[in-house]
Amino acid sequence: RDDAAAVKCGAYEARPADSVPIGGVEIDGGAVAQKVKIGVYFAAWWSLNVIFNIYNKKVLNAFPFPWLTSTLSLAAGSFLMLLSWATRIAEAPRTDPDFWKALLPVAIAHTIGHVAATVSMSKVAVSFTHIIKSSEPAFSVILSKILFGETFPLSVYLSLIPIIGGCALSAVTELNFNLTGFMGAMISNLAFVFRNVFSKKGMKSVSGMNYYACLSMLSLLILTPFALAVEGPQLWAVGWQKAVSQIGPNFIWWVAAQSVFYHLYNQVSYMSLSEISPLTFSIGNTMKRISVIVASILVFHTPLKPINALGAAIALSGTFLYSQ
């Protein structure tokens, strides 16, 4: 019969090309690739930051001029990006006056945060600066509430208690506490939260890499006259000669390394920021500090009392709870 030979046909929705069934469960290849990409960014960001912090502290120990050191970091990054654009290794961004106008407050915040952190590390141990800077999520939540009226679950606010308490305990028990170093880290926290929030809002027409390149150049223009006014060429010349005489040619390598690695880690962090939210960025930034703290203690043999280490552990545990 005709109906016996009939074949039942059905139309089915095509499966996305990047969706692969594994063991009866569909795996979204695009989502997995995105997670792997962000994971690589974070690993590179953290590794480069550890190297930067070690060389930065070496330079500051021999050459205690944080304003010039900060300026050289921005100058190196600006030069590298201009060179990459000129040689077409990277595509130069297309910008307009509105872009630079929107970038200005971000550059001011970046400049303040960069100098404040460098001043802090010139006065205290790298580990102490990063323990205090681990309170950045608290600043992020508070400013998001004040500036944008954002509300968070009670669990988020409760997670800030160990962060703030742990930082306070670590500061009180720090063997080599210095008020300038402490305030520098706190000011850096505040400035970088502003930078991250407004960077995310302005990062629309320009890639994360080029956005940070433009940010470095504008920050360099802002910082240079202040560095000249605060420290000046005469002090730099005397300090440079003293550092070279004590350390030798390696000192020049240290300066070059801290400058280049500062740009590289920030460039990768901005590539991450273009993929995630400002709060997630703050979390990643805080978790990164664990590796920096441990590495700096091992490299510089930083004395650490058990109560001080407990404060750091509480603060970092609070950050983990916050991320959850």
Give the tens place of pLDDT for each residue, 124-172. 999 888 888 888 888 888 888 887 788 888 888 888 888 889 888 888 8
The set of residues, in sequence order, having a beta carbon less than 8 Å from that of 46 and lying 6+ positions away, is 287, 288, 291, 292
Q: Looking at the 3D structure of the chain, how many domains does it have? A: 1
Residue with token string 């990164």: 288
User: Please, which pLDDT band fits residue 21 given cuts at 50, 70 and 90?
Assistant: low
Mean pLDDT across 23-27 = 51
In a domain, 7, yes or no: no
Residue 276 belongs to what domain range?
Answer: 64-323
HEC secondary structure over 192-231: HHHHHHHHHHHCCCCCHHHHHHHHHHHHHHHHHHHHHHHC
Dist. CA 305–CA 321, nearest whole Å: 24
159, two tokens: 């997670």
In a domain, 236, yes or no: yes
In a domain, 8, yes or no: no
User: Please, which pLDDT band fits residue 45 given cuts at 50, 70 and 90?
Assistant: confident
Any alpha helices (H) in 231-300, and if so which ranges?
233-247, 250-273, 278-300
Give the tens place of pLDDT for each residue, 93-117. 888 898 899 899 999 999 999 999 9
CA distance to 27, 190, 195, 203, per residue, from 108 (Å)? 44, 12, 8, 16
Better pLDDT: 207 or 68: 68
In a domain, 41, yes or no: no
In a domain, 43, yes or no: no
Helix, strand or coil, per DSSP, at residue 22: strand
In a domain, 32, yes or no: no
- pLDDT over 50 (residue 11): no
Give the tens place of pLDDT for each residue, 205-262. 777 788 889 999 999 999 999 999 999 999 999 999 999 999 998 999 999 999 999 9
CA dihedral 145, 151, 155, 161 (to 10 degrees): 10
Dist. CA 118–CA 129, nearest whole Å: 9
Backbone region of residue 189 per phi and psi (left: phi > 0; alpha: psi in -120 to 50; beta: other values): alpha
Task: Kindly report the pTM of this predicted structure.
Answer: 0.81
In a domain, 16, yes or no: no
In a domain, 151, yes or no: yes
CA dihedral sign, ordered 138, 139, 144, 147: positive
